[in-house]
Amino acid sequence: MTTAPASGFQTRRIVESAAACSGAVVAGLSLMVPLDPRMMGNTSALEVSLTVLNAPRSAAAGAMLAVVAAVYAMIFGARVAWCASFVAASVLLICAIAISGPVSSGSLAIVNFIECVTAGILVGALAAATLRRPGVGTAYTVGILCGIVIGDQLQMPEAGAAMSRWRWLYAAAPPLWLSVLAVVLLGVGLYWHRDQAPIVSESTVISNVPLVPILAGALMLTVVTTTSEWTARYDFGAAGLVCEILVLAGAALVAALLLPGQDGTLILLATATASAGSAVVAVPHPRWSWSLTLAALALGFLAGRLRPAPLVAAGLTTALAVYAVLTCGIAHTYLLLPVIGCTATAFVLGYAFGAAVPHTVSGMVLGIVILVAPCMIVALRGHENGTVGYSPNWYRDPNGTEGLLPPIVAVAVTLGCTLGILLLRQLRPVTAGHIRRLPGRALGGKFA
């Protein structure tokens, strides 16, 4: 008698998990890739430069809106969260269609800004809709991390390269077919939650907004964006770099202390992982390595959930930065080294987010958006171009040579964040019964 309802419930969970994963991948790619490869052949150099110069601030704006969207969606409830996710994904789909043809002068940077802002809303709203639900929350987390890893490790398109018959599977960022799939699945999720009433009435929204995660996000994103832009534009020397490292690690610790308990551990781990992952030489890599990278990320997340150890995660990020130091001069020569770098980065990222899952949705979103905002390591790699980017076109350059400075700075940042984690554990020791998971308590609490 209960077989049909149980089967329908499982089907609904599978569909919602697919919606969470596809929507998260679309959001991650939209935030990480400021310039669609399809536009590089029919856009002026001035337009490309303008887009690249505005990319860090656009990404930071989208990241900040992700935190705000997560907080408000948690207050209003699942229906508003699914509705905001569906609308944001639809706008991203319209933008993807709009830039598939010729783009007029001055519009590409505007479209990129709209994409970043909309993708940020999608990140936060979809997190509020899915993270507290077993299975669906895992699909969202793995999906957003996959989108970020893929977007970070994209290499510059080769000029005059032959069009592969399979290019439609991965062309553009995000690919058009994935955006369509996300919109359809999110529409189904919205239909299923259409009758759910909001948690808090509109008249009490202002008094119920938890400002702590918003303040922590504003602090971190301001520091990350400012240090990266200053690193790209000015040469402060060794003393200046040391000060920037201290400011970045100090800001991560302060933001971590703003969150309840040890939820801020993820902020420190995300800061360290973003620096170490950006220092690794990930190109050139063969197309088949993507499957290995994504499998390593999922395996790392599973390992982190089964054996959570934030200090181990911090040690892995430091080891990843040391690997970047040892291979920065030869990674472009040996194809195996970038493949190892991509795989190791994905595993460490997955383990870090699995080992330090915060109690709140906004805490998880804070960790995610730190990965999105370009850090000072990316600025060091683009310092010769005067931009925050791996190359003048933002993508990692397979033919570029790497110096020792970016990975050495990454090692320093990871060590600073590790000390921050130790200090956080001293100030807020783990109590008996403390569990690292998103609890299923009522929405709209003091910390959303």
Domain annotation covers residue 205? no
Domain extent, residue 318, equals 210-431
* pLDDT recorded at residue 399: 80
Residue of 51 and 206 predicted with greater confidence: 51
Whole-angstrom CA distances from 293 to 63, 271, 297, 345, 382 are: 24, 20, 6, 8, 25
Query: Is the domain of 257 the same as that of 110?
Result: no
Rounded to 10 degrees, the C-alpha dihedral 174/179/185/189 comes to 80
Q: What is the mean pLDDT of residues 16-35?
A: 93
Do 39 and 58 reside in the same domain of the chain?
A: yes
The Cα 293–Cα 342 span in angstroms is 6
Residues 130 and 105 in one domain: yes
Same domain, 244 and 186: no
The amino acid sitting at 326 is L
Of 303, 424, 444, which is closest to residue 360 (Cα–Cα)? Answer: 444
pLDDT at 171 over 90: no
Same domain, 410 and 273: yes
- In a domain, residue 4? The reply is no
Residue 447 lies in a domain: no
Same-domain status, 424 and 333: yes
Q: What are phi and psi of 381, to 5 degrees?
A: -70, -25
Range 408-413 average pLDDT: 98
More confident residue, 321 or 111: 321
Lowest mean pLDDT among 298-307, 393-402, 422-431: 393-402
Q: What phi, psi does 320 have (nearest 5°)?
A: -65, -40
CA gap 22, 28 in Å, rounded: 10
pTM here? 0.91
The tokens describing 198, both together, are 């909001």
Check whether residue 15 and residue 39 sit in a common domain. yes
Task: Check whether 186 has a pLDDT greater than 50.
Answer: yes
What one-letter code names the amino acid at 124? G
Domain CATH code at residue 42: 1.20.1250
Task: Give the whole-angstrom CA distance, residue 259 versus residue 215.
Answer: 10
pLDDT band at residue 20 under the 50/70/90 scheme: very high
Q: What is the mean pLDDT of residues 409-437?
A: 82
pLDDT at 438: 57
122 and 217 part of one domain: no
Mean pLDDT across the stretch 74-103? 87
Task: Please tell me the predicted confidence (pLDDT) of residue 97.
Answer: 84
3-state helix, strand, coil in the chain (%, to 5): 70, 0, 30
**8/74: higher pLDDT:** 74
DSSP H/E element including 135: none
Q: In the prediction, which pLDDT does 2 show?
A: 47
Domain count, the chain: 2
What amino acid is encoded at 442 in this protein?
A
Kindly state the DSSP code that residue 404 receives in the 8-state scheme. S
Least confident of 103-117, 164-178, 221-235, 302-316: 164-178
Lowest mean pLDDT among 155-159, 205-209, 270-274, 350-354: 205-209
Does 304 lie in the same domain as 172? no
Same domain, 43 and 162: yes
Judge contact between 271 and 370, C-beta under 8 A.
yes
Given a cut of 50, whether residue 118 has pLDDT beyond it is: yes
- Separation CA 73–CA 361 (nearest Å): 10
Determine contact, residues 414/318, Cβ cutoff 8 Å: yes
Structural domain ending residue among the three candidates 199, 226, 261: 199
pLDDT of residue 202: 47
The answer on pLDDT for 95 being more than 50 is: yes
Same domain, 115 and 51: yes
- Same structural domain for residues 368 and 296? yes
Rounded Cα distance between 298 and 145, Å, is 9
- Is the pLDDT at 162 greater than 50? The verdict is no
Share of the chain above pLDDT 90, in %: 62
Question: Does the pLDDT at position 100 exceed 80?
Answer: no
Within-domain flag for 2: no
State the chain's mean pLDDT as an integer: 86
> What is the three-class DSSP state of 288?
coil
More confident residue, 133 or 420: 420
Residue 175 in tokens: 């690919």
On whether residue 440 sits in a domain, the answer given is no
Residue 51 covered by a domain: yes
Both tokens assigned to 352: 């870090």
| Terminal alpha carbon distance of the chain | 39
Q: Hey, how many other C-beta atoms are within 10 angstroms of the C-beta on 11? A: 10
Domain assignment present for residue 407? The answer is yes
